Amino acid sequence: MANFYGVELSSPLMLGTSQYPSPAILTDAFRNSNASVATVSVRREAGFEKAGNSFWKLIQELGVRVLPNTAGCYSVREAITTAQMARELFDTSWVKLEVIGHPDTLQPDPFGLVEAAKLLNQEGFDVFPYMTEDLILAERLLEAGCEVLMPWGSPIGTGLGLNNLYGLRSLRAHFPDVPLVIDAGLGLPSQAAQALEMGYDAVLLNTAVARAGDPVKMAVAFARAIEAGQLAYKADPMEPRDMAAPSTPVLGKAFLR
Protein backbone atom coordinates (compact mmCIF):
# COMPACT_ATOMS: atom_id res chain seq x y z
CA MET A 1 0.00 0.00 0.00
CA ALA A 2 1.28 3.43 -0.95
CA ASN A 3 2.57 5.87 1.59
CA PHE A 4 0.61 9.10 2.01
CA TYR A 5 2.86 11.64 3.71
CA GLY A 6 4.33 8.97 5.97
CA VAL A 7 1.00 7.24 6.60
CA GLU A 8 0.10 3.77 5.37
CA LEU A 9 -3.63 3.54 4.95
CA SER A 10 -5.55 0.45 5.97
CA SER A 11 -7.71 0.59 2.83
CA PRO A 12 -7.59 2.39 -0.52
CA LEU A 13 -11.14 3.70 -0.02
CA MET A 14 -11.57 7.35 0.91
CA LEU A 15 -15.13 8.56 1.44
CA GLY A 16 -16.62 12.02 1.54
CA THR A 17 -19.04 12.92 4.33
CA SER A 18 -21.66 15.16 2.73
CA GLN A 19 -25.16 14.50 1.34
CA TYR A 20 -25.95 11.37 3.37
CA PRO A 21 -29.57 11.01 4.54
CA SER A 22 -28.33 11.16 8.15
CA PRO A 23 -25.13 11.03 10.18
CA ALA A 24 -26.19 7.58 11.42
CA ILE A 25 -26.20 6.25 7.82
CA LEU A 26 -22.87 7.96 7.16
CA THR A 27 -21.38 6.18 10.18
CA ASP A 28 -22.74 2.82 9.00
CA ALA A 29 -21.31 3.37 5.52
CA PHE A 30 -17.85 3.92 6.99
CA ARG A 31 -18.06 1.00 9.42
CA ASN A 32 -19.23 -1.47 6.79
CA SER A 33 -16.81 -0.48 4.06
CA ASN A 34 -13.70 -0.03 6.24
CA ALA A 35 -12.97 3.23 4.46
CA SER A 36 -9.71 4.61 5.80
CA VAL A 37 -10.09 8.32 5.21
CA ALA A 38 -13.00 10.75 5.68
CA THR A 39 -12.95 13.98 3.73
CA VAL A 40 -14.84 16.86 5.27
CA SER A 41 -15.68 20.10 3.57
CA VAL A 42 -15.06 23.07 5.74
CA ARG A 43 -17.28 26.01 5.00
CA ARG A 44 -15.82 29.04 6.59
CA GLU A 45 -19.14 30.15 7.99
CA ALA A 46 -19.43 26.88 9.94
CA GLY A 47 -16.03 27.60 11.49
CA PHE A 48 -17.33 30.87 12.85
CA GLU A 49 -17.66 30.31 16.60
CA LYS A 50 -17.14 26.60 15.78
CA ALA A 51 -20.81 26.29 14.85
CA GLY A 52 -20.10 23.08 12.93
CA ASN A 53 -18.62 21.39 16.00
CA SER A 54 -21.26 18.73 16.63
CA PHE A 55 -20.95 17.36 13.09
CA TRP A 56 -17.16 17.46 13.14
CA LYS A 57 -17.14 15.65 16.47
CA LEU A 58 -19.21 12.95 14.80
CA ILE A 59 -16.65 12.64 11.98
CA GLN A 60 -13.79 12.38 14.43
CA GLU A 61 -15.63 9.62 16.26
CA LEU A 62 -15.50 7.50 13.07
CA GLY A 63 -11.93 6.73 14.10
CA VAL A 64 -10.52 7.16 10.57
CA ARG A 65 -8.07 9.74 9.29
CA VAL A 66 -9.72 13.06 8.54
CA LEU A 67 -8.84 14.86 5.32
CA PRO A 68 -10.37 18.33 5.42
CA ASN A 69 -10.98 19.88 2.03
CA THR A 70 -11.33 23.35 0.63
CA ALA A 71 -14.44 22.54 -1.41
CA GLY A 72 -16.19 25.48 -2.99
CA CYS A 73 -13.13 27.76 -3.00
CA TYR A 74 -12.66 29.72 -6.20
CA SER A 75 -9.53 31.66 -5.32
CA VAL A 76 -6.10 30.98 -3.87
CA ARG A 77 -6.79 33.23 -0.94
CA GLU A 78 -10.07 31.53 -0.04
CA ALA A 79 -8.44 28.12 -0.28
CA ILE A 80 -5.57 29.14 2.00
CA THR A 81 -7.84 30.67 4.63
CA THR A 82 -10.03 27.57 4.59
CA ALA A 83 -7.01 25.26 4.85
CA GLN A 84 -5.69 27.18 7.83
CA MET A 85 -9.04 27.01 9.54
CA ALA A 86 -9.29 23.28 8.83
CA ARG A 87 -5.86 22.66 10.31
CA GLU A 88 -6.92 24.34 13.52
CA LEU A 89 -10.29 22.58 13.69
CA PHE A 90 -9.08 19.06 13.00
CA ASP A 91 -5.56 19.28 14.30
CA THR A 92 -4.10 17.78 11.11
CA SER A 93 -1.62 18.98 8.51
CA TRP A 94 -3.48 17.06 5.78
CA VAL A 95 -5.57 19.08 3.39
CA LYS A 96 -7.32 18.22 0.16
CA LEU A 97 -6.77 21.30 -1.94
CA GLU A 98 -9.59 22.33 -4.25
CA VAL A 99 -9.35 25.53 -6.23
CA ILE A 100 -12.37 25.49 -8.50
CA GLY A 101 -12.18 27.10 -11.91
CA HIS A 102 -15.76 26.97 -13.14
CA PRO A 103 -19.10 26.72 -11.31
CA ASP A 104 -20.73 24.46 -13.93
CA THR A 105 -18.07 21.81 -14.32
CA LEU A 106 -16.43 22.36 -10.92
CA GLN A 107 -13.17 21.66 -12.68
CA PRO A 108 -9.89 22.56 -10.99
CA ASP A 109 -8.19 25.85 -11.82
CA PRO A 110 -4.69 24.48 -12.50
CA PHE A 111 -2.95 27.84 -12.17
CA GLY A 112 -4.51 28.76 -8.84
CA LEU A 113 -3.97 25.19 -7.68
CA VAL A 114 -0.18 25.31 -8.18
CA GLU A 115 0.06 28.69 -6.53
CA ALA A 116 -2.00 27.63 -3.50
CA ALA A 117 -0.14 24.31 -3.24
CA LYS A 118 3.19 26.13 -3.12
CA LEU A 119 2.05 28.43 -0.34
CA LEU A 120 0.45 25.65 1.71
CA ASN A 121 3.49 23.38 1.38
CA GLN A 122 5.66 26.25 2.63
CA GLU A 123 3.36 26.53 5.63
CA GLY A 124 3.94 22.88 6.45
CA PHE A 125 0.68 21.41 5.10
CA ASP A 126 0.54 17.96 3.52
CA VAL A 127 -1.31 18.84 0.35
CA PHE A 128 -3.58 16.45 -1.60
CA PRO A 129 -4.30 18.48 -4.76
CA TYR A 130 -7.52 17.87 -6.71
CA MET A 131 -6.32 18.22 -10.31
CA THR A 132 -7.00 17.44 -13.94
CA GLU A 133 -4.99 14.51 -15.34
CA ASP A 134 -2.51 16.83 -17.11
CA LEU A 135 1.12 15.64 -16.95
CA ILE A 136 2.70 19.06 -16.83
CA LEU A 137 0.34 20.17 -14.08
CA ALA A 138 1.40 17.04 -12.18
CA GLU A 139 5.06 18.00 -12.56
CA ARG A 140 4.40 21.54 -11.36
CA LEU A 141 2.51 20.26 -8.31
CA LEU A 142 5.36 17.91 -7.42
CA GLU A 143 7.81 20.80 -7.80
CA ALA A 144 5.57 22.82 -5.50
CA GLY A 145 6.17 20.18 -2.83
CA CYS A 146 3.15 17.86 -3.19
CA GLU A 147 3.86 14.19 -2.51
CA VAL A 148 0.42 12.88 -3.46
CA LEU A 149 -1.64 13.66 -6.58
CA MET A 150 -5.40 13.40 -6.98
CA PRO A 151 -6.51 13.54 -10.63
CA TRP A 152 -10.22 13.59 -11.37
CA GLY A 153 -11.97 10.71 -13.10
CA SER A 154 -14.63 13.09 -14.42
CA PRO A 155 -16.33 16.22 -13.02
CA ILE A 156 -17.50 16.14 -9.38
CA GLY A 157 -20.86 14.48 -8.85
CA THR A 158 -21.33 13.31 -12.46
CA GLY A 159 -20.76 9.59 -11.93
CA LEU A 160 -19.26 9.33 -15.43
CA GLY A 161 -16.28 7.28 -14.30
CA LEU A 162 -12.79 7.48 -15.82
CA ASN A 163 -13.21 9.90 -18.66
CA ASN A 164 -9.71 9.95 -20.09
CA LEU A 165 -8.18 6.50 -19.75
CA TYR A 166 -5.20 7.39 -21.90
CA GLY A 167 -4.37 10.44 -19.75
CA LEU A 168 -4.78 8.55 -16.49
CA ARG A 169 -2.64 5.63 -17.73
CA SER A 170 0.12 7.93 -18.85
CA LEU A 171 0.03 9.77 -15.52
CA ARG A 172 0.48 6.45 -13.76
CA ALA A 173 3.31 5.47 -16.09
CA HIS A 174 5.13 8.79 -15.70
CA PHE A 175 5.01 8.87 -11.93
CA PRO A 176 5.34 5.25 -10.85
CA ASP A 177 6.40 6.19 -7.32
CA VAL A 178 3.96 8.99 -6.54
CA PRO A 179 0.80 7.94 -4.67
CA LEU A 180 -2.09 8.61 -7.05
CA VAL A 181 -5.72 8.86 -6.03
CA ILE A 182 -8.69 9.08 -8.38
CA ASP A 183 -10.79 11.85 -6.93
CA ALA A 184 -14.27 12.68 -8.20
CA GLY A 185 -16.52 11.44 -10.95
CA LEU A 186 -16.92 7.81 -9.90
CA GLY A 187 -20.48 6.53 -10.06
CA LEU A 188 -20.16 2.74 -10.00
CA PRO A 189 -17.98 0.21 -8.21
CA SER A 190 -16.75 -1.18 -11.55
CA GLN A 191 -15.20 2.22 -12.30
CA ALA A 192 -13.35 2.15 -9.00
CA ALA A 193 -12.14 -1.37 -9.73
CA GLN A 194 -10.85 -0.15 -13.07
CA ALA A 195 -8.83 2.60 -11.36
CA LEU A 196 -7.17 0.12 -9.04
CA GLU A 197 -6.55 -2.35 -11.90
CA MET A 198 -4.62 0.45 -13.62
CA GLY A 199 -2.35 0.75 -10.61
CA TYR A 200 -3.95 3.72 -8.90
CA ASP A 201 -3.33 3.67 -5.17
CA ALA A 202 -6.71 4.79 -3.90
CA VAL A 203 -10.03 6.31 -4.85
CA LEU A 204 -12.00 9.10 -3.23
CA LEU A 205 -15.75 9.35 -3.72
CA ASN A 206 -18.82 10.79 -2.08
CA THR A 207 -21.96 11.27 -4.20
CA ALA A 208 -21.99 7.72 -5.58
CA VAL A 209 -22.37 6.39 -2.04
CA ALA A 210 -24.23 9.18 -0.26
CA ARG A 211 -26.92 9.58 -2.92
CA ALA A 212 -27.46 5.90 -3.59
CA GLY A 213 -30.84 4.53 -2.49
CA ASP A 214 -28.97 2.47 0.10
CA PRO A 215 -25.68 4.22 0.88
CA VAL A 216 -24.43 1.46 3.20
CA LYS A 217 -24.84 -1.25 0.56
CA MET A 218 -23.18 0.94 -2.05
CA ALA A 219 -20.22 1.66 0.24
CA VAL A 220 -19.73 -2.07 0.69
CA ALA A 221 -20.00 -2.62 -3.07
CA PHE A 222 -17.23 -0.07 -3.64
CA ALA A 223 -15.07 -1.65 -0.95
CA ARG A 224 -15.32 -5.06 -2.63
CA ALA A 225 -14.70 -3.68 -6.12
CA ILE A 226 -11.64 -1.85 -4.87
CA GLU A 227 -10.31 -4.98 -3.24
CA ALA A 228 -10.83 -6.86 -6.51
CA GLY A 229 -9.09 -4.16 -8.53
CA GLN A 230 -6.16 -4.03 -6.16
CA LEU A 231 -5.76 -7.82 -6.19
CA ALA A 232 -5.93 -7.86 -9.97
CA TYR A 233 -3.20 -5.25 -10.25
CA LYS A 234 -0.96 -7.15 -7.85
CA ALA A 235 -1.61 -10.37 -9.77
CA ASP A 236 -0.07 -8.77 -12.91
CA PRO A 237 -2.86 -9.12 -15.48
CA MET A 238 -2.31 -10.73 -18.85
CA GLU A 239 -1.62 -8.55 -21.87
CA PRO A 240 -4.57 -8.26 -24.20
CA ARG A 241 -3.97 -9.43 -27.78
CA ASP A 242 -5.82 -9.38 -31.07
CA MET A 243 -5.57 -13.04 -32.10
CA ALA A 244 -7.44 -15.73 -30.25
CA ALA A 245 -5.08 -17.89 -28.22
CA PRO A 246 -6.73 -21.19 -27.30
CA SER A 247 -5.86 -22.32 -23.84
CA THR A 248 -5.80 -25.97 -24.90
CA PRO A 249 -3.07 -26.86 -27.41
CA VAL A 250 -4.41 -27.70 -30.89
CA LEU A 251 -1.30 -29.61 -31.90
CA GLY A 252 -1.81 -33.35 -32.17
CA LYS A 253 -5.59 -33.06 -31.93
CA ALA A 254 -7.50 -35.40 -34.21
CA PHE A 255 -9.15 -33.73 -37.22
CA LEU A 256 -12.80 -34.64 -37.01
CA ARG A 257 -13.64 -33.39 -40.46
Partner 1 sequence: MSLVFQVIGAGVAGLSVASELSQRGAPVRLYDRNGPPGPHACSWWAGGMLAPFCEGESAEEPVMRWGQLAADWWESMGASVKRNGSLVLALGRDQRELDRFSRRTHNHHWLNDNDLLTLEPELGGRFTRALYFPDEAHLDPRQALGALTQTLREQNVEIITSEGHFTQHAIDCRGLTAQDQLSDLRGVKGEMLVLRCPELTFNRPIRLLHPRIPIYLVPRGEGVYMLGATMLESNDRRRATVRSVLELLSSAYALHPAFGEAEIIEIGVDARPAFPDNLPRLRIRNGILFVNGLYRHGFLLAPTLARMTADYLLEKKIPEFLDAN
Going by C-alpha positions, the residue among 141, 156, 150 that lies closest to residue 168 is 150
Could you say which of 5, 55, 74, 233 contacts partner 1 (CB under 8 A)?
55
Q: Which of 50, 96, 217, 234 is catalytic?
A: 96
Q: How far is the CB of 130 from partner 1 (least distance, A)?
A: 17
- In DSSP terms, which residues pair with 182 in a beta bridge? 203
Could you say which of 101, 145, 155, 157 contacts partner 1 (CB under 8 A)?
157
Residue 121 to residue 142: CA distance in whole angstroms = 11
Q: Is residue 53 at the binding interface for partner 1, with CB under 8 A as the rule?
A: yes
Q: How many CA atoms lie within 13 A of 165 on its CB side?
A: 9
The widest CA-to-CA distance across the chain, in whole angstroms, is 86
Could you say which of 46, 160, 188, 228 contacts partner 1 (CB under 8 A)?
46
Q: Is residue 169 at the binding interface for partner 1, with CB under 8 A as the rule?
A: no
Q: Look up residue 122 and give its amino acid.
A: Q
Question: How many residues interact with partner 1 (rule CB under 8 A)?
Answer: 19
Going by C-alpha positions, the residue among 182, 143, 138 that lies closest to residue 160 is 182
Cβ proximity to partner 1: between 22 and 247 the closer is 22
Q: Is residue 160 at the binding interface for partner 1, with CB under 8 A as the rule?
A: no
Residues 156 and 125: beta-carbon distance below 8 Å:
no
Residue 209 to residue 31: CA distance in whole angstroms = 13
To the query of whether residue 217 is one of the catalytic residues in this protein, the response is: no
Q: How far is the CB of 51 from partner 1 (least distance, A)?
A: 4
Residue 143 to residue 159: CA distance in whole angstroms = 31
Residue 251 to residue 257: CA distance in whole angstroms = 15
Q: How far is the CB of 182 from partner 1 (least distance, A)?
A: 20
Q: Is residue 105 at the binding interface for partner 1, with CB under 8 A as the rule?
A: no
**Site for partner 1, residues 2 to 41, rule: CB under 8 A:** 21-25, 27
Looking at the annotation, which residues are catalytic?
96
Residues that bind partner 1 (CB under 8 A): 21-25, 27, 43, 45-46, 48-49, 51-55, 58, 157, 213
